[in-house]
Structure 1
Amino acid sequence: MHPEKSGTRILGIAESFRGRDRSILAGIVMRRDLRIDGAALETITVGGMDATEAIIRIYETLNRSDINLILISGAVMAWYNIISPDIISQTTDRPVIIITYEQSDGLCDTLRYHFPGDSERLAAYKALGERDFVRLHTGHTVYLRRAGIPLTTAEEIIHQITLDGKVPEPVRVARLIARSVMRSSQTGI
């Protein structure tokens, strides 16, 4: 992977979820120079364990051999639907970065409370491992989990595609699209 190339393509994934049975995932293919050149949508089950598979389906639906990296906003979506960056990276043969935005003491106790006896979900959460702390050029802090990419390369890319604030452009745009689709589905458009 060559993060310095303007044509480096990143698949940004983000969700929109508001107390429904399903959550909307949007995937946006964005070049490092911030040009958008692809999009796909999927749904996941609120409280389910299908987010990893849905992200893989987005990648496969796009049918793009030029995607260099998958960037996901959040490791836990749609009410504790936990993502496996390792499975996504192995299945797609692409590096994966999961970005989160807040300090956390972890979710083990919360998962035990809401999903008693769900050892699969707890194991999936524990498999995420520790996060890497990154201070952005914007002054904000983010946290990264990675699969198939060194920390120094991941940091370089995140710095390049974050214009302001703490949300990198591919996932910022994906979140906007997912929210728009969610609002449209709620109003019946």
Structure 2
Amino acid sequence: MKSGVRALGVAESYPGTARAEGGGRSTLAGAVVRADRVVDGLAFETCTVGGLDATDAVVRLWTDLDRPDVRYLLLAGVAPAWYNLLDLESLHERTDRPIVAVTFEPSDEPLEEALTRAFSGRALERRLERFDRLPPRSRLPINDEAVFLRWVGCEPSEARDVVRAFTPEGGRPEPLRIARMAARAGRALREDEFEGGDEAETAGGDRGGDEPV
């Protein structure tokens, strides 16, 4: 792959307390990174912890960046912000780019079972409907490690080649590594603003969280 090919990596971060409080905000970061590891752009968004608005938040990141030169969209998992499931088909249609979701550990519990344990009624039905539309996961050995991929809008060989090209070392593609660091920094800033809100007379209060499922 040519060194100038760009991918947008999206990762998120939220504090564990947001899950218990309900309705908290997770900080999403989008990092544009070239295949030669040059960072070429950053943007931030938020989505609801335990909600179903992460897909729209990723699209807003894409729109705000306005980078038609980005060729691929890489996602850190499909269930960020406590099962705020991403709709990969919708993301592909709305960005007109191949979508590759990457997870880094085999699931201890199947996602469908985790959803059934965490939700009920219409909230569960909506998530199961979205879950049923997800493509299956595929294991990819890389740099003596392994990741797990789902993709939409490209052939299996292209999805694997993209992840390998953007992972020169370790097991985390560079756009996702940078996005994760940016999301954690953005979350920390939001938390600082929230904690100092009364003193500084600010309206902070959105808080972000940990790595996606």
Give the match for residue 91 of structure 1: 94
Q: Counterparts of 2:30 and 2:169 in 1: how far apart (Å)?
A: 21
Q: Counterparts of 2:116 and 2:180 in 1: how far apart (Å)?
A: 29
Question: How large is the RMSD of aligned CA atoms in angstroms?
Answer: 1.2
- Output the amino acid matched with 1:58: L
Give the match for residue 133 of structure 1: 139
Residues 139-177 of structure 1 deviation map (CA, whole Å, 9 limit, x = unaligned): 101000001011111111211211322111100000000
Give the match for residue 35 of structure 1: 38
Q: Secondary structure at the match of 1:79?
A: helix
Determine if the alignment matches structure 1 residue 25 to structure 2 residue 49: no
TM-score (norm 1): 0.94
Q: Which runs of 5+ in 1 are unaligned?
A: none
Identity level (%): 38
Higher helix share: 2
Deviates more, 1:179-188 or 1:75-84: 179-188
Give the number of the structure whose alpha-carbon radius of gyration is greater: 2
Which residue among 132, 136, 148 is the counterpart of 2:153? 148
After the TM superposition, which parts of structure 1 deviate over 2 Å for at least 4 consecutive aligned residues? none
Q: Which runs of 5+ in 2 are unaligned?
A: 19-23, 197-213
Contact 2:137 2:149 in 1 (8 A): yes
Determine if the alignment matches structure 1 residue 109 to structure 2 residue 109: no
Q: Counterparts of 1:142 and 1:114 in 2: how far apart (Å)?
A: 25
Q: Secondary structure at the match of 1:180?
A: helix
Give the match for residue 179 of structure 2: 174
Contact 2:11 2:176 in 1 (8 A): yes
